[in-house]
Amino acid sequence: MAVKTYRDAWGIPHLRASDPLQLAFGQGENAALDRAWQIEVERHRSQGTTASFLGPATVVWDRFARQARLDDTARRCFANLDDETAAWVTAYVDGVNSALERGAAAAPEFATTGLAPEPWQPWAPLGIWLAHHILFAGFPTKLWREQVARRLGADAIELFATDDPGTAGSNGWMVSGERTAAGAPLIAGDPHRFIQDPGVYQQLHLSCPEYDVVGFAVPGVPGIAHFGHTGTVAWAITNAMSDYHDLYRERLRRAGGGIEALGPEGWSPAAHHRETIEVAGGEPVEVEVIETERGPVVIEGLGDLGDLAAPADAAGAEGAGPEAEPAGMPGGISLRYPPRVTGDLGFDVLPALLRARTVADVDRALDRWIEPVNVVHAADATGELLHRVAGYVPVRHRDNWLRIVPAWERGHGWQGRHGTPRAEVDGIAVMANARGLAGLLGVEFAPPHRADRIEALLRESRDWTAPDMAAIHMDTLLTAAGPLLEQVARLDELGPAAERLRERLLSWNRYMDADSIAAADYARLRSAVSRRIAAAPQLECLAEPLRYPAVFESWLNLTSKVAFALETLLTTDRLAGLDVPGIVGAALDEVAGAEPVAWGELHRLAPGRALPSVEGERWPGLGGDHDCVLATSSTPGVTDLSARGPSARYVWDLSRRENSLWVVPLGAHGVPGGSHHRDQLPLWVRGELAPVITDFALLAEEAEPTEETEPTADASRGEGADGGDRSGDV
């Protein structure tokens, strides 16, 4: 049979086909109809061609994507797929190509930018996956640590270690059948990513005689990679916070019309060519793409950054020749990342997950996963549980993990692959980016606050149901507030306004609720303290802006680094002379003069878009904070707006899949103005979840589009069984 599309009351697509290839075609077709603008932007991001229609602001990304060789890596990885997986991915791309022009006609962004959709190549989904995850390992943190080590000393290299907004995280938890009302396991959680409009995750139901799976797909990528339920087994992931990308300081020279790089064995040829970035509304930009034996050079022109550009004594480096620094060829920094090295993204895992029936099936499939490196929970209807790490972490020198290493020195190569740890589950398993199961595979982890709080809440009951889990998703207790409040309690000789503020703070219950004035007081104080510490003489050496590409800014901003490491910086002895009481007292005086306001007035949702937001648009206020279970992250000292948070929420019930629940921040449809573009936003803000419906008898079959009935943004497309507009008010 041809692929048939059904919709539930939330417009979520349910696809039915006669075999996996037809179903993959249907998934691609649906992505092109529901998310045409989104997937075309992502394809262009993977190719480094966004500036051709988005203008000069995106040149910085396009330069990075080209220099990192994302598209070429996707081609290599596609060429290495087994025949079955290659055919499956190709079927998806064929589906995209069959419907992309129709989807683009319904999406106003194409007309706004003048972008014309183009046929996809078979490797496009792999490129989209790479573009989504190339920064997941947080390698730009090594740029920051390098500066800290050079300016504050090597013993301070991990002074700012913490989970920051440049690193995507998640909450995830699993309880065994002994702790649920139905006697079967539950898996729940929420991935934390930058909230995007349209959303980065798409709720989806894929059904054919071989399998029937619900979960969250990444638009532009076939299958259901991170969060899925096949009826008898379910899985979910969080970022393991592992370190698996390396940065090398490269010494380069031009020779005989080519480029050479200095490695442990001396000078050797580097691949290089030039590319041109077309820029809408601007002049074309030429980019030199260089790749050494370590990897592609992603930061160039470091001749003005002292010994980052080249060794102080290159002649003394092992394997180096006596040549002087070549004129006109400054050094650079190359990136080594597993898919580029192995020619493998692990995409053969995706169809294997769709076919999984047991925990053992999921476990076997994930043995072949490459990146991103994740912590995985899985459970099946028999009660079997899985808690493991999946992904490729190379074995190499400890310095590689911490900072930029010299390409010309021996000992910094990769020596194989680490094993992936696993653990037995005794009733409860929690994963929230904290040091734990993956502790030996990384350097920086999230503080333990979210993980500890989730476990404490789970231990309060042995009769958990899927609806009960919403209370955990929305918990706003901020135990991380303790160190700053302890400093406030020690202050004396305060003025009347500051004393009143202190009384409010010390009587506060530490819940970052949207309607809490004390929560806003705390957030304002934290920001003021962060700014003042960042301006302290002890950190003056870090205040000068680092001259790296703006694509790495999230990892390099001093104020944000201070804010996310505040617990450590308030108590450290590594910053001699830092007047913490004086800083906190001055910040308290500063904030005491502000008009009281509820946290949700300051802490509003701020989704990212490829095109500028509508002027005057007002998004809802939020509770939560980056160290709450409700991890709606802002950047203290910079902005209270929340650009990162739960990009989906889910509860997978193994007793009966139809008891499962899910929600996304906006809606199922990607076209502005449609009834299902933002209809889940009120649910998401309130902490409610929608039911997972898999019975096709309860779904509305969608008529196949014709030339007379092209898909549009109108509410008639995908209203669902009740035909209602559920957008509501927030």
Rounded to whole angstroms, how far apart are CA atoms 287 and 64?
A: 10
For residue 211, count other CB atoms closer than 10 A to its CB: 17
- 528 within a domain of the structure (yes/no): yes
Mean pLDDT of the chain: 92
Find the CATH number of the domain harbouring 624.
1.10.1400.10
Number of domains observed in the structure of the chain: 3
Closest CA to 203 of 625, 622, 666, 638: 666
- 369 within a domain of the structure (yes/no): no
Amino acid 704: pLDDT: 73
Do 254 and 132 fall within a single domain?
A: no
Amino acid 329: pLDDT: 58
- 193 within a domain of the structure (yes/no): no
For residue 436, count other CB atoms closer than 10 A to its CB: 19
Do 613 and 629 fall within a single domain?
A: yes
Find the CATH number of the domain harbouring 695.
1.10.439.10
Q: Which of 336, 371, 401 is the last residue of a domain?
A: 336
Residue 720 pLDDT class (50, 70, 90 cuts): very low
Q: Which of 310, 336, 362 is the last residue of a domain?
A: 336
What's the DSSP call for residue 619? P
- 182 within a domain of the structure (yes/no): no
Amino acid 706: pLDDT: 53
Let me know: does 261 contact 332? Beta carbons within 8 Å: no
Rounded to whole angstroms, how far apart are CA atoms 153 and 399?
A: 15
Residue type, 608: G
Q: Mean of the pLDDT values across residues 671-685?
A: 96
Distances (CA, A) of 52 to 285, 497, 626: 11, 54, 35
Q: Which of 645, 670, 690 is the last residue of a domain?
A: 645
538 pLDDT higher than 70: yes
Structure tokens at 42: 């992502």
Let me know: does 648 contact 585? Beta carbons within 8 Å: no
Find the CATH number of the domain harbouring 306.
2.30.120.10
711 pLDDT higher than 50: no
Q: Residue 524 burial by CB count (10 A; 0-12/13-18/19+): exposed, middle or buried?
A: buried
Closest CA to 189 of 460, 414, 374: 374
For residue 267, count other CB atoms closer than 10 A to its CB: 18
80 pLDDT higher than 90: yes
Instruction: Give residue for tokens 């878009």.
Output: 609
Residue type, 303: G
- 184 within a domain of the structure (yes/no): no
Instruction: Give the list of residues 6+ apart from residue 269 with CB closer than 8 angstroms, or none.
Output: 258, 259, 260, 261
For residue 727, count other CB atoms closer than 10 A to its CB: 17
716 pLDDT higher than 50: no
Amino acid 544: pLDDT: 85
What's the DSSP call for residue 307? G
Rounded to whole angstroms, how far apart are CA atoms 10 and 662?
A: 11
Do 24 and 91 fall within a single domain?
A: yes
Do 492 and 586 fall within a single domain?
A: yes
Do 510 and 638 fall within a single domain?
A: yes
Let me know: does 199 contact 664? Beta carbons within 8 Å: yes
658 pLDDT higher than 70: yes
Rounded to whole angstroms, how far apart are CA atoms 396 and 401?
A: 8
Distances (CA, A) of 347 to 38, 253, 648: 21, 37, 22
Amino acid 301: pLDDT: 78
Rounded to whole angstroms, how far apart are CA atoms 643 and 603?
A: 10
Do 545 and 683 fall within a single domain?
A: no
- 587 within a domain of the structure (yes/no): yes
Instruction: Give residue for tokens 């919709």.
Output: 7
727 pLDDT higher than 80: no
Closest CA to 241 of 339, 101, 367, 375: 375
Rounded to whole angstroms, how far apart are CA atoms 111 and 20?
A: 34
Structure tokens at 581: 């009481």
314 pLDDT higher than 70: no
Amino acid 168: pLDDT: 65
Closest CA to 61 of 132, 121, 3: 132
Amino acid 547: pLDDT: 83
Do 622 and 678 fall within a single domain?
A: no
The pLDDT tens digits of the residues spanning 6-20 come to: 999 999 999 999 999
Do 659 and 573 fall within a single domain?
A: no
* 391-405, 463-477, 578-592, 606-620, range with the lowest pLDDT: 606-620
Instruction: Give residue for tokens 């990885």.
Output: 77
330 pLDDT higher than 80: no
Residue 72 pLDDT class (50, 70, 90 cuts): very high
Instruction: Give the list of residues 6+ apart from residue 357 with CB closer than 8 angstroms, or none.
Output: 230, 232, 233, 380
* 168-177, 551-560, 717-726, range with the lowest pLDDT: 717-726
The pLDDT tens digits of the residues spanning 28-67 come to: 999 999 999 999 999 999 999 999 999 999 999 999 999 9
Which neighbouring-strand residues pair with 203?
216
318 pLDDT higher than 70: no
Amino acid 703: pLDDT: 85
| Percent of the chain's residues with pLDDT above 70 | 92
- 353 within a domain of the structure (yes/no): no
Structure tokens at 283: 């002049």
Let me know: does 65 contact 45? Beta carbons within 8 Å: yes
- 658 within a domain of the structure (yes/no): yes
Do 574 and 678 fall within a single domain?
A: no
Backbone angles phi, psi at 361, to 5 degrees: -65, -45
Cα angle for residues 137, 139, 141 (degrees, 5° grid) = 115
Do 605 and 660 fall within a single domain?
A: no
Q: Mean of the pLDDT values across residues 499-528?
A: 98
Which neighbouring-strand residues pair with 191?
170
Do 608 and 667 fall within a single domain?
A: no
Let me know: does 230 contact 356? Beta carbons within 8 Å: yes
Structure tokens at 215: 């979960």
Determine the structural domain holding residue 531 and report its residue range.
Answer: 476-645
What's the DSSP call for residue 684? H
Amino acid 162: pLDDT: 78
Do 661 and 637 fall within a single domain?
A: no
The pLDDT tens digits of the residues spanning 198-246 come to: 999 999 999 999 999 999 999 999 999 999 999 999 999 999 999 999 9
Residue 705 pLDDT class (50, 70, 90 cuts): low
Residue 545 pLDDT class (50, 70, 90 cuts): confident
Pairing relationship of beta strands 258-263 and 252-255 according to DSSP bridges: antiparallel
325 pLDDT higher than 80: no
Burial 7-17 (b: 16+ CB within 10 A, else e): bbbbbbbbbbb
Instruction: Give the list of residues 6+ apart from residue 614 with CB closer than 8 angstroms, or none.
Output: none
